[in-house]
Amino acid sequence: DQQVKQNSPSLSVQEGRISILNCDYTNSMFDYFLWYKKYPAEGPTFLISISSIKDKNEDGRFTVFLNKSAKHLSLHIVPSQPGDSAVYFCAASRTGNTGKLIFGQGTTLQVKP
Amino acid sequence: DAMVIQNPRYQVTQFGKPVTLSCSQTLNHNVMYWYQQKSSQAPKLLFHYYDKDFNNEADTPDNFQSRRPNTSFCFLDIRSPGLGDAAMYLCATSSDRGLGYTFGSGTRLTVV
């Protein structure tokens, strides 16, 4: 019973183009969503988040879109850079649930020069 | 820099031999979490401490236990490691049930 799913294990894009990473969730109680980035041999680092009261949040090259009716969120990276190559995890939480995050399986992004 | 430190980075243990993984933090965060991540799978929450209150996930095996002697340190004890316990173990902290964690670099456990 996986409540957060990232159905694409990997994604390859050309430098300068847009990377779009997708995430689906099943629990309608989730009200906060986050993206983490993980390099090999390092722990995940926080990238960007969005509350369920919004449908878009932007931070520099990174934008997260939330479609509550579809229970879907996506991370857009524009323009993609080789240093963005990493594993990206989507995570979800619900207020009052002790801050527990439920993670997706991750998507490995490769940005080719 | 305030951070979350996990030791060791790599741990090899024998089948059935107890092993302890450690996590320390300088962030003074109330909450500490332990996640297990197997290859190509989602990190799975094992348990967490809110201050001294221990919260076990329903599906965490009894083989896994944790201790938090003070705010800064948290330990993961695996009483009798099996081959299926080989994984990356991630420690994370957050403040007052706030959202968004700070993760350590993880300990990769190998069971031989």
Partners of B92 on chain A (C-beta within 8 Å) are 43
For residue B1, the model assigns a pLDDT of: 66
| d(C-alpha B12, C-alpha B111), whole Å | 6
B96: pLDDT confidence band, cut at 50, 70 and 90?
Answer: low
Cβ(B84)–Cβ(B76) below 8 Å: no
Terminal Cα distance for chain A, rounded: 38
**Over the stretch B38-92, which tens digit does the pLDDT of each residue have?**
988 899 999 999 999 999 999 999 999 999 999 999 999 999 999 999 999 999 9
Tokens for A25, please give them: 């969730």
For residue A110, the model assigns a pLDDT of: 98
Partners of A46 on chain B (C-beta within 8 Å) are 100-102
B41 in contact with A, Cβ within 8 Å? yes
* pLDDT beyond 60 at B97: no
Q: How far is B81 from chain A (nearest CA, A)?
A: 22
For residue A41, the model assigns a pLDDT of: 79
Cβ(B45)–Cβ(A100) below 8 Å: yes
Which of B36, B87, B100, B48 lies closest to A91, judged by CA? B100
Q: If you write DSSP's letter for every residue of B34-70 in order, what string do you get?
A: EEEE-TTS--EEEEEEETTEEEE-TT--TTEEEE-SS
For residue B2, the model assigns a pLDDT of: 64
Which of B42, B99, B105 is closest, CB to CB, to A103?
B42
Q: Do A98 and B102 touch (CB under 8 A)?
A: no
Partners of B40 on chain A (C-beta within 8 Å) are 9, 105-106
B70 in contact with A, Cβ within 8 Å? no
Q: What is the pLDDT along chain A (113 residues), one digit of tens a residue?
A: 689 999 999 999 999 999 999 999 999 999 999 999 999 878 899 999 999 999 999 999 999 999 999 999 999 999 999 999 999 999 999 876 667 889 999 999 999 99
Q: Do A43 and B31 touch (CB under 8 A)?
A: no
